[in-house]
Chains A and B, each alone.
Chain A
Amino acid sequence: MLFICAITVYPIWYVLVNSLNDGVDAMRGGIYWWPREFTLENYKAVFETPGIVTSFGVTIAKTVIGTITHVFFTAMVAYAISRRDLYGRNFYMLVGVITMFFSGGLIPYFLLIRDLGLFDNFLVYIIPTMFNFFHLIIFVSFFRELPTSLEEAAKIDGANDFEIFIKVIIPLSMPVIATIALFQGVYQWNDYFAGVIFVNNPDLQPIQTYLYKVVAESSSNQMMTNAAGSIATKTVTSQSIKLATMVVTTLPIMLVYPFLQKYFVKGMLIGSVKG
């Protein structure tokens, strides 16, 4: 067990340590446990690169807006479908279940996004990810457990179904909302593929896409020229910047993760396949 933990954590630790070490010195290798020549220059360099800051802004915006719209929209549809008296419920469920097993695949999807005018548009991060049928099922099974008497009371007070959803259901559903928000937030933060295929404009590129290009480029450079030690004039190397960018990219998730942990374990229980 401890061995598994060690191999799990070590690669993350290695990147952190090397990103805090002087770039040229790190080229010599052999930094495993602790930085040899401690420096924050790499991080300074990261934030001085103009493209990175913009990409960071895009990532934060897409994560925040994308997660909020996703949770709200999916929960809203799920609430309507969770009501047993909804006319046409079974039909709506069938429409959704089919989407879990069949899809058009990458190319028809790409053509659709392009025809909708979402190519090179910030909304490509938001609208196509607004809804997820698997998340809907988790929401539905949670809403089913809520006592119906509260809804009835609100109805007698003259609230319509939408108001009930906003004022009664949402406040009662914080655990499941936190879970789905976590799933979606992590997805939004980590997704690089949408930025690769749907966006050409570098100002709309999220940080993961930026990093993808750096990693893909540097690995092919390494293959071809074996550039080890060729940059000796500066203390910051492309390698050390890459490592620092990786840390900066991952840090936000690592920071919120312990706080949200208790929710997602519960959420996995709600959504789990129990046979």
Chain B
Amino acid sequence: MEVKIQQPVEQQVSDTILAEPTKKEKIKKIKKTIISQKYLQTMALLGVVWMFIFNYIPMYGLIIAFKEYSIIKTISEAPWVGLMQFKEFIQDENFWIVLKNTLGISLIKLLIGFPLPIIFALLLNELTSMKLKKAVQTISYLPHFISWVVLGGILTTWLADIGVINDILLGLGLISERTNFLAEPDNFWAIVILSDIWKELGWSAIIYLAAIAGVSPELYESSTIDGANRFQKMWHVTLPSIRPTITILFILAVSGVLNSNFDQILILRNSLNESASNVIDIYVYQMGLQNARYSYATAVGLLKAIIAFILLLSANKITKKLNGTSLF
């Protein structure tokens, strides 16, 4: 009995393998798979539809950067103006201010803000008391959960002329007169960078701690036998082991370098510190949403995206050459 049932099945299988599948058969087969996966396909396609609407339609909307769009017309009806919007931005008196602030804040943030979480994670790893380690960790990522609005409130209170920072500096005799720090453009970059580090230091360190936890203990044991001290172990074992993680996060940080933390700057800026606080994102917001110059603001935003993408590609290429790790 068994043999009789098996035979035809085997024959069928070998037939389909032997026969060259024509296009029609292929399509039929694909149709069959898709129908058998109708639930899965629906689930996946819902996500694709969402991405089409909320990610791809705005990408299409970028073409208004090359048009003169107004609310009365649809995007396709608006007349083409070529690169006019871009030219206008480059000739605008704000161009250099905005560019200087965006690049300045971002590069300093990258320079100081990128290595600090790594150092913090390395130091944290050296703590031998598990209880203390956990407590330090818990406290260090607490600020990540506080919104920029609340932090902005704290900062404006502290940095005001009657605020805590003035009290401390006066008490130490470092300043002779109370000043409102947020009213002075000279201080703005420092405030933005320091407060951002304060908020995200512990949170950014988590990923490095995870990488450190993955380092094989044998490496430490053998380095102990070789007579390495704690610092040498950190330098010769831990750091090289987490280098791939550092590289990838560095590439990501470089590509996001022009995103100068919109939420934060929007709340800390005011009319008095404008010459230091006006970054591309803020400029786009002001021009586009407050002055309704949609095409102009889109062009400015697109220019930023292009620069960011070039930065991403170059960082990827450089790290690939230097140590063989890259994102793509």
Q: Which A residues are closer than 8 A to B by beta carbons?
A: 1-2, 4-5, 7-9, 11-12, 14-15, 27, 29-30, 32, 73-74, 76-77, 79-81, 83, 85-88, 92, 95-96, 99, 101-112, 116, 128, 130-131, 133, 136, 160-162, 165, 186, 189-193, 197, 208, 211-212, 214-216, 218-220, 222-223, 226, 228, 239, 242-243, 246, 249-250, 253-254, 257-258, 261, 265, 268-269, 272-275
| B147 close to A11 (CB less than 8 A) | no
Residues of A within 8 A of B44 (CB): 77, 80-81, 86, 88, 92
Option from A80, A109, A220, A258 in Cβ contact (under 8 Å) with B40? A80
Q: Please judge, given known A-B contacts A9-B139, A108-B62, whether A103 and B156 are in contact too, CB under 8 Å.
A: no
Q: Specify which chain B residues have a CB less than 8 angstroms from the CB of A29 in the assembled complex.
A: 162, 167
Question: Hey, which chain B residues are within 8 Å of A107, CB to CB?
Answer: 61, 64, 284, 288-289, 294, 297-298, 301
Q: Give the shortest distance, in Å, between B96 (CB) and chain A (any CB).
A: 21
Stretch from B20-28, B222-230, B245-253 that touches the partner: B245-253
B138 interfacial contact with A, CB 8 Å: yes
Contact of A8 among B139, B252, B289 (CB under 8 A): B139
Contacts of B142 in A (CB 8 A): 8-9, 12, 254, 257
B207 at the interface (CB under 8 A from A): yes
Are A103 and B198 in contact (CB-based, < 8 A)?
no
Top 9 closest A-B pairs, CB basis?
A: A104-B58, A275-B244, A108-B61, A77-B47, A190-B147, A105-B301, A161-B39, A80-B43, A80-B44
Give chain A residues whose Cβ lies under 8 Å from the Cβ of B162: 27, 29, 228
* B37 touches which of A5, A87, A191 (Cβ 8 Å): A87
Interface membership of B185, Cβ < 8 A? no
Q: Report B126 CB to chain A, min CB distance, Å.
A: 10
Inter-chain contact B145/A253, CB cutoff 8 Å: yes
Chain A interface, >50% SS class: helix
Contact partner of B143 among A8, A161, A212, CB < 8 A? A8
Residues of B within 8 A of A85 (CB): 37
Choose among B43, B211, B263 the residue that contacts A76 (Cβ–Cβ < 8 A).
B43
Task: Report the Cα distance A106→B132, complex, angstroms.
Answer: 43
CB-defined A-B contacts under 8 Å, sample of 21: A4-B120, A8-B202, A11-B154, A15-B157, A77-B46, A87-B41, A96-B47, A101-B309, A104-B58, A105-B58, A107-B288, A111-B61, A112-B53, A112-B58, A116-B53, A190-B145, A212-B149, A218-B156, A222-B180, A274-B211, A274-B214
| Pair A101/B312 contact, Cβ less than 8 Å | yes
Contacts of A128 in B (CB 8 A): 54
**CA gap between A186 and B154 in the complex, in Å:** 19
The CA-CA distance from A162 to B40 in the complex, in Å, is: 7
Cβ of B3: which chain A residues have Cβ within 8 Å of it?
A: none
Which residue in A110, A261, A274 is a CB contact (below 8 Å) of B288?
A110
User: A99 touches which one: B30, B55, B202, B263 (CB < 8 A)?
Assistant: B55
B32-73 interface (Cβ within 8 A of A): 33-34, 37, 39-44, 46-48, 50-51, 53-62, 64
Task: Determine chain B's interface SS by DSSP, over half rule.
Answer: helix
Q: Which residue of B lies closest to A92 (CB)?
A: B44
B101-159 contacts to A (CB < 8 Å): 120, 123-124, 127, 132, 135-136, 138-140, 142-143, 145-150, 152-154, 156-158
Q: Which of B124, B132, B167, B270 is packed against the most chain A CB atoms within 10 Å?
A: B270
Distance of A242 Cα from B150 Cα, bound (Å): 9
Contacts A186-B145, A261-B138 given: A105-B302 contact, CB under 8 Å? yes
Known: A215-B153, A275-B325. A103 touches B270 (CB 8 A): no
Give the distance in Å from the alpha carbon of A32 to the alpha carbon of B325 in the complex.
49
Which residue of chain A is the closest to B325 with respect to CB atoms?
Answer: A275
Within 8 Å CB of B252, what residues of A? 273
Residues of B within 8 Å of A101, CB to CB, are 255, 309, 312
Contact-residue size bin, chain B (C-beta under 8 Å from the other chain): 35 or more
* A219 near B55: Cβ-Cβ < 8 Å: no
Tell me whether B149 and A215 are in contact (CB under 8 A).
Answer: yes
Decide yes or no whether B285 CB sits under 8 A from chain A.
yes
CB-based contact A215/B139 at 8 Å:
no
Within the assembled complex, what's the spacing in Å between the Cα atoms of A95 and B139? 39
Give the residues in chain B near A131, CB-CB below 8 Å. Answer: 47, 50-51, 54
Inter-chain contacts of B143 with A (CB < 8 A): 8, 12
Set of chain A residues within 8 Å of B249, measured between Cβ atoms: 273
* CB of B29 to closest CB in A, whole Å: 10
Q: Beyond A85-B37, A258-B138, is A92–B47 a contact (Cβ under 8 Å)?
A: yes
Contact B33 A87 (CB under 8 A): yes
Q: Is B219 an interface residue (CB 8 A)?
A: no
B58, A189: Cβ atoms under 8 Å?
no
Contact status B48-A92, CB under 8 Å? yes
CB distance from B227 to the nearest CB of A (A): 27
B98 contacts A by Cβ under 8 Å: no
B158, chain A: closest CB distance, angstroms: 7
> In the docked arrangement, what's the CA distance between A275 and B250, Å?
12
